[in-house]
Amino acid sequence: MSIRPRGRQFFNNPGPTNIPDKVLRAIDRPVLDFLSEEFLEIHRACFQGLKRVLKTEQQLFMYASSGHGAWEASTANVFAAGDKVLMIESGYFSESWTMMCRKFGLEVEVMESDWRHGVDPAAIEQRLRSDTAHEIKGVLVVHNETATGLSHPVKDVRKAMDAARHPALLLADTISSLACFDFRMDEWGVDVAVGGSQKGLMLPTGMSLTGVSEKAMAISAKGGGAPRHYWDWREMKARDPQRFIGTTPVHHFFGLQASLALLEEEGLDAVFARHARLARATRAAVRHWGGLNDTSDPTNGTKPAQGERGPNLTAAINGPELYCRDPARYSDSVTAVLAPEGHNVDKFRKVALERFNLSLGGGLGPLGGRVFRIGHMGDLNEPMLLGALATTELAMKVSGMPHRPGGAEAAVESLAKD
């Protein structure tokens, strides 16, 4: 980079996220023997604390890996090659998970959707009812699709499964929802919850986790699933208290201990309320940039048109607009913004980054170039968000992206009322 902008970088990628200073400092310490009592105390506290975040009293396994590793763990322990699973389509990440499953020989049936609306639980129920032979072994859903800023209601997926009296396992990817907004593993009947360190847990990338129900654990324990070792729950459980295959990544635990302390000091409900408040302010800014307000938003609450499916890049207005069209499914951790037709977001993002030191997410897969994403999860407060939004507007102005000025003020107004 020829011009390196000054000051602190505003990091509003939708994950990895800002790591609080206290967490960075906690990681910045000499190593400990992972078998020492001094470390095992930290280890125990982290397992217990993380279970409270997942809201589970069942099994928890962590891995030295990114979230994709936890995806492999989630399926390798319970599904064997040839098993059939139902993937709820949400966008880039449900597609990636699908691809991963297929590489291990699973038969993945994708329940397709318009990415701007997602799947209707009623359709899930209907599909499961039709599976009278119970060939479907698992229902896989991305709780929060990081690529689109749309959240699927995991609780309603469970209701649909129960209504269909279907015995499949429910797997939920909570990577970008956990510790950002409400997730309740046990209450919602989730069998495998997949999480990562680098989002709401505010840690560096490199540790991931799965909450595991006793039902799922039993499959793994009986030798079900696919060949595995690094991800093997049986093996990990046998290695209590350490529960890791290979050397335990103690530095991630040092960080996790600190981030759990921050979450508990604030309180999970307050954490969720803060995310919701900041997310509303973000959407207020985006609507304002698009010349809209809450009541005038033409995309608000629309149903997907007949035949619409997959990425849908038709812009409704000549300004930035919310990619997600269903207010009930707006994500509280990330907002994806669709640029007006004919406008590429890459130049704008480059200006934001290289001139103003604001890092925004780009569009993934088919959304590349047309969508940018504002992450608002983890270690974030009002001035951090307002600085990001005002600078987003500054970068739009400088780079010629059409917009109605005043988005930062709209966010201020939203926050003042909130």
Positions 38 through 77 that interact with a copy of itself (CB under 8 A)? 38, 63-69, 71-72
Of the candidates 40, 61, 39, the one whose C-alpha atom is nearest the C-alpha of residue 50 is 61
Name the segment binding a copy of itself (CB under 8 A); options: 153-161, 182-190, 321-329, 404-412.
Answer: 404-412
User: CB under 8 Å to 277, separation ≥6 — which residues?
Assistant: 415, 418
Q: Does 11 bind a copy of itself (CB under 8 A)?
A: yes
Binds a copy of itself by CB under 8 A, chosen from 49, 204, 304, 368: 204
Of the residues 266, 293, 301, 309, which one makes contact with a copy of itself according to CB under 8 A: 266
Least Å distance, CB 109 to a copy of itself, is: 19
Q: Identify whether 402 is preceded by a cis peptide bond (ω within 30 of 0).
A: no
- Of 189 and 290, which CB lies nearer to a copy of itself in the complex structure? 290
Binding residues for a copy of itself restricted to 230-259, rule: CB under 8 A: 230, 232, 244-252
Within residues 323-362, the interface with a copy of itself by CB under 8 A covers: 353, 356-359, 362
CB of 226 to a copy of itself, least distance (A): 7
Nearer to a copy of itself, 362 or 402 (CB): 362
179 binds a copy of itself (CB under 8 A): no
Q: Which of 207, 209, 216, 292 binds a copy of itself (CB under 8 A)?
A: 207
Q: Tokens 């000051």 — which residue?
A: 7
Cα torsion at 332, 335, 336, 342 (round to 10°)?
150
Q: How many residues bind a copy of itself (CB under 8 A)?
A: 103
Q: Which stretch, 99-107, 131-139, 150-158, 365-373, contacts a copy of itself (CB under 8 A)?
A: 99-107
Per CB under 8 A, 117 contacts a copy of itself: no
Q: Closer to a copy of itself at the Cβ: 240 or 265?
A: 265
Q: Which is nearer to a copy of itself, 188 or 231 (CB)?
A: 231
Residue 358-397 contact track with a copy of itself, rule CB under 8 A, x = bound? xx--x----------------xxxxxxxxxxxxx-xx--x
Q: In what order do the strands lie in the sheet with 10-12?
A: 10-12, 358-362, 371-375, 334-338, 321-322
Q: How far is 335 from 317, CA to CA, in rounded Å? A: 17
- Which residue has tokens 């934001």? 352
Residue 102 pairs in a beta bridge with none
Going by C-beta distance under 8 Å and a sequence separation of 6 or more, which residues neighbour residue 148?
90, 91, 92, 115, 116, 323, 324, 336, 367, 371
Residue 273 sits in the site that holds a copy of itself (CB under 8 A): no
- Our measurement of the distance from residue 68's CA atom to the centroid of its chain's CA atoms, rounded to an integer in Å, reads 12
Helix ranges (H only) for 118-266 are 121-130, 154-163, 214-221, 233-238, 250-266
Distance in angstroms (rounded) separating the CA atoms of residues 218 and 216: 5
